[in-house]
Amino acid sequence: MIFLIITIVFSMGISFLCSLSEACLLSLSMADLAVLSEKKPRAGQLLKQMKEAVQKPIAAILIVNNFSNIIGAAVSGVIFSGLFGNKWIGLFSFFFSLAVIQWAEYLPKTLGVLHNRPLAGIIAGPLAYMVRILSPLVFMLERINRPFLRGAKYRSTTDALNEITLLARYASVNKLISREQVDIVSRSIKLSQSRVQDIMVGRDEIKFLSTAMTMAEALIEAHIHHHTRYVLVRDGNMDEIVGYVNVKDIVSALQINPTDPSLKGIARPVLTVSAVLLVPALLKELTRGYQHMAVVRNDQARTVGLVTLEDVVEAIVGDLEDEYDVMPSHVIPISEIRFLAGGGVSLATLRAKTKFDLPELPTNLNDWLCSLYQNLPPIEHAIPFLDLMFIVRKIRRSKIHEVMVEKRHQTKPPAMPG
Report DSSP letters for 321-376, one per residue: --TTTS----EEEEETTEEEEETTSBHHHHHHHH-------SSBHHHHHHHHHTS-
pLDDT attached to residue 155: 53
Cα-based angle 231, 280, 291 (whole degrees, multiple of 5) = 30
d(CA 398, CA 378): 10
Picking from 396, 401, 339, 331, the residue whose alpha carbon sits closest to that of residue 369 is 401
Q: What are phi and psi of 402, to 5 degrees?
A: -150, 140
> Which CATH class, in words, describes the domain spanning 331-407?
alpha beta
pLDDT attached to residue 321: 53
Q: Please report how many Cα atoms fall inside a 13 Å half-sphere around the Cα of residue 103, on the Cβ side.
A: 14
Picking from 343, 365, 368, 341, the residue whose alpha carbon sits closest to that of residue 353 is 341
Mean pLDDT per 10-residue segment, the chain (418 residues): 90 94 90 86 91 90 92 90 85 91 93 93 94 92 81 57 76 82 81 86 84 84 79 88 88 75 84 91 88 90 89 75 67 88 90 89 90 84 90 79 82 46
Strands 303-308 and 271-274 turn out to be unpaired
CATH topology of domain 199-317: CBS-domain (3.10.580)
Question: Which amino acid is located at 187 in the chain?
Answer: R
User: Which residues make Cβ contacts (< 8 Å) with residue 50, sequence separation at least 6?
Assistant: 25, 56, 57, 124, 127, 128, 131
Angle subtended by helix axes 116-133 and 135-145, to nearest 10: 90
DSSP class of 278: B
d(CA 44, CA 36): 5
DSSP class of 262: -
H or E segment to which residue 16 belongs: helix 2-27
Note every long-range contact of 250-259, with CB atoms under 8 Å and residues 24 or more positions apart, other chains counting. 250/215, 250/218, 250/219, 250/222, 251/219, 253/215, 254/215, 254/216, 254/219
Whether residue 365 contacts residue 343, with contact meaning beta carbons closer than 8 Å, is answered with: yes
Whether residue 264 contacts residue 211, with contact meaning beta carbons closer than 8 Å, is answered with: yes
Picking from 204, 174, 2, the residue whose alpha carbon sits closest to that of residue 83 is 2
pLDDT attached to residue 418: 42
d(CA 370, CA 362): 15
pLDDT attached to residue 153: 57
Which residue(s) pair with 384 in the sheet?
Answer: 389
Report DSSP letters for 83-135, one per residue: HH-GGGHHHHHHHHHHHIIIIIIIHHHHHHHHTHHHHHHHHHHHHHHHHHHTH
pLDDT attached to residue 320: 52
Ranges of each domain in the chain: 2-148, 160-191, 199-317, 331-407
DSSP class of 413: P
Q: What sign has the CA pseudo-torsion 79, 83, 85, 87?
A: negative
pLDDT attached to residue 181: 83
pLDDT attached to residue 318: 67
